[in-house]
Chain A
């Protein structure tokens, strides 16, 4: 470190981070880097290839027998040793971290293997045989509500797991008397902030004390600790949870590691040794967590001048296959600020939560904000357009007045501070809005597609731990007891040499908390930055913590750094008293600077900090009466403004409310449909800024993730529940090339509710930027129904309409979709064989012949006379995978005809189908005719229909051609076979 910063002025300065030297030299300590016990084994997880299926049987014997495997667990084993995870709403439904009788999303854990290393564990996964009976899947939240929709949880009887309606003010009257009613409908997609480090867990179990000890890169909230302990059926003090020193990013996502904490803990218990699991990227994309997708209809009652008098929200939240804690929190986090930055008196809300065959959702940067603000800010644009008013004028007309803070919103939020009008004025002036408008006009004059969008957002931070209970009715809440507050904790300790250690339960994931805490405490105690060392590892068995602990809801600067300041102040007060007695002055005259305590009126009358600080250790008897020790001070701080929901459902869901106003200029390429961000201005009011460099980093990072959400990223599902974006080649994260540079502006209004005046800042652009870009694109194209991500293909559809079918169809068979959304294929063909009907018949029923002729078969086993099992490797286009096939024979008329039906499944997809084979005697031998109908689902179905149809035809053709060859002969009787023959001859030559 190049300079020794001394007293004063540390807060608010961009000092270099204390974290960086280690991280830059490869000395970070992330979970996969930590030393483990020598007998630690490795966990791998078998996951469902189906979106929805009953598990008929699991055979783990071959996996258990593999050398190096120490345990194999199924859902039944986990069920015996744990309890269902707590569900946050009143509903007759269980929530397990592993499938029991049924799988409900692609990637759901089905079995666990513990082995000497990950390679062997994954070998064993391949040996587990699972018999599934697939069920119709449902992925669309609106269709999931239909009376005939497949139901995920039979005990629930419906997919609608929760519904609540709210009413604030008099929305009916406002709508009845409004000049205009203007509505918009939004379908917000799923995405995830995908940290570059995946989940990791190291777990061990002590049977002597019936206690678990788990290290996980969990981020909080530590209310989840209670969920884990309950599921493992131990008191909280027997579920020790620790976090590693470093974490490779989270953005909310690592809250979702907790089901794996449970699984690894149970696996360690069964295996009798510590177990380590590091999630791989494919697992992470498929089955960690994502944000919710949401369908929203938002209507406004509007006066002629654009003033909004009421909002009516109808939100349908899709939480995936299980309602995992803390869901449905995504739907309720914004509840206190559902009116955004606007003073709107009357609000009606209907919130519904639906379950579908998708991965369960969880925390994700912005948490609920992107979904809400996309609807609200699209609507504000639409109101202006429909009324023929200037959009900025409509925004300004509705803002909460600058003199109204703290402002109580209709839904119960308490907006702490702000001056939205000035912030907007400054953003327009300093962001160059007039020049941008000229640029747009010029572009349009040249025939280019250019638009300008705005977004006005209130960014909540420091969540009220009671907000989620708004999902309960007031009666249910009364019964359960009030929930509220948010305990932040910080400890400041002084060692015998007088140096300072700060300990917090903030669980940073790369933000730089250690640096900021050192700044805060060093400034308070008049010390150089280096005199303070900060530890942010959390150990629930040793450290001070509470349910609100952790790194989420942008709570660090406002709450945790504030608690550290309060702890430092308490120590400072006592140190001042000790110094005062030694310097013979009163304590109020003592000042702290440059490592000294001195009389403000006579600075020469001074004593070194170390001497005063160490007195509690070395000479406690010399301390003035009533001073107490200065060895360690722990402060728990919970703000009084975070009250429980009121009897009328008012809730101050967050302590702080920052403000963001964004301006986006975007151009759309007419030819490609590509959206280019030409200019982006983002104005922030995050209260007092503690470290400008880190605030800048938070804004840029959130902005880049929002660019991804707006333009590239979507967790996409096929109609059968197959997951279509399971690699980083499918789920497109912006690189440096796709990330424009925003102009970042600040307008600080310190929060009166936090010790340092700071508010959260990290999540805002995830809320404001997607809708700001969408508003710019809507402005450029004149399209209302803007859906994300704004990919070139999506935008082209608006530019040119849907792609027309090719003028020369390659396939005369119309492509159909199966009941559960798979792709249906049909076809037929024939082959001539120089063999008798009887010998062909015998071959068809012989496993050895089948092994020789089934393309890619490794093994064919005869289960019964009419039932075969096969292992095959098939490559279709770029997607090569190993599949288990199950073939049954029926309607047998020997030796003339037989129906083959069966299914095949593997990690990349599944197929099932039936084929009727008839054998006819000919002059030279036997003619084999076949026709088939097949349904294909999963990832393999996404490689493209034409490719798939052709490939299926080739594979099925190969089978019969091989049969013909095996029987000694065969010609090319059918049209499709010509290509097949050429292909086959290629293979033969290679052999």
Chain B
């Protein structure tokens, strides 16, 4: 990595939701601030900026990561996905999102984008994830509205639906 000057902004080239992005950021700028205030994608929310609440979770090269604990410069060359990329079309919801709506898995919706990004990665990597795996993954997120039960139900329903789609003859 080239030597960078703390007083200057430096170019960050990366892929965001499938599109090439060239942004500029000071060395100390957080990925969460870059996404929200430089790129303008405000779906990624900031709840604590010390890595506990999970609201800012995005996927970096397919893995869930806290955008508030990641410097913008760290995603050079990476593939970043945010909640804005989940829906298959403008007026559609992904099966996971639709399950959240059906099961009332959200109220204020502030923690939801981070939870969706974690669960999306989980259901991709472990399509057979059950209640315990889902709870384990959710334990990295704080939700103050729902009491979590409806989130777990939504995730279970989405996993079930995904399994059905993958094995249509089963």
Contact = CB atoms under 8 A, between A and B. Distances in A.
Contacts of B41: 26
A500 interface: no
B42 interface: yes
A390 interface: no
A728 B56 CA distance: 15
Given A701-B147, A736-B139, A24 B106 contact: yes
A734 to B, nearest CB: 8
A26 B42 contact: yes
Contact of A194 (B101, B107, B144): B144
Most chain B CB within 10 A, of A14, A25, A194, A704, is at: A25
Contacts of B55: 196
A23 B106 contact: yes
A210 B112 CA distance: 41
B108 A195 contact: yes
Contacts of A729: 50, 52
Given A33-B42, A193-B144, A704-B148, A21 B93 contact: yes
Interface residues of A, number: 52
B108 to A, nearest CB: 3
Interface in A9-34: 14, 16-17, 19-21, 23-28, 30, 32-33
B161 to A, nearest CB: 15
Nearest to A705: B144
B83 interface: yes
Nearest to A250: B108
Interface in B74-124: 82-84, 86-87, 93, 97, 100-102, 104, 106-113, 116
A697 interface: yes
A512 B106 CA distance: 10
A25 B83 CA distance: 6
Contacts of B42: 26, 30, 32-33
A27 B112 CA distance: 12
Interface string B116-136: 100000000000000000010
A829 interface: no
A26 B44 contact: yes
Which DSSP category, helix, strand, loop or mixed, fits chain A's interface? loop
Contacts of A26: 41-44, 82-84, 113
A196 B47 contact: yes
A24 B93 contact: yes
A693 interface: yes
A249 B148 contact: no
Given A736-B135, A737-B139, A696 B109 contact: no
Contacts of B140: 735
Contact of B145 (A16, A697, A727, A741): A697
B149 A741 contact: yes
Contact of B53 (A196, A511, A696, A705): A196
B2 to A, nearest CB: 22
Most chain B CB within 10 A, of A26, A249, A701, is at: A26
A700 B142 CA distance: 14
Interface in A680-712: 693-694, 696-697, 700-701, 703-705
A987 interface: no
B28 interface: yes
B143 interface: yes
Contacts of A196: 45, 47, 53, 55, 108, 110-111, 142-144
A24 B109 contact: yes
A727 B43 contact: no
Given A28-B109, A728-B48, A510 B145 contact: yes
Contacts of B66: none
A28 B43 CA distance: 7
A280 B49 CA distance: 8
Given A196-B47, A729-B52, A696 B104 contact: yes
Nearest to B86: A25
A20 B36 CA distance: 21
Contacts of A25: 43, 83-84, 86-87, 93, 97
Contacts of B34: none
Contact of A249 (B107, B138, B141): B107
A454 B143 CA distance: 27
Interface string A747-762: 0000000000000000
A372 B135 CA distance: 35
Contacts of B139: 735-737
Contacts of A727: 48, 50, 52
A222 interface: no
22 contacts: A24-B86, A24-B112, A25-B83, A25-B87, A28-B110, A30-B45, A30-B110, A32-B36, A194-B144, A195-B144, A249-B108, A697-B150, A700-B146, A701-B107, A701-B145, A703-B147, A704-B146, A705-B144, A735-B142, A735-B148, A736-B138, A736-B139
List the 8 shortest-distance A-B pairs measured between CB atoms, nearest first. A26-B43, A510-B108, A248-B110, A23-B109, A700-B147, A704-B147, A728-B52, A33-B42
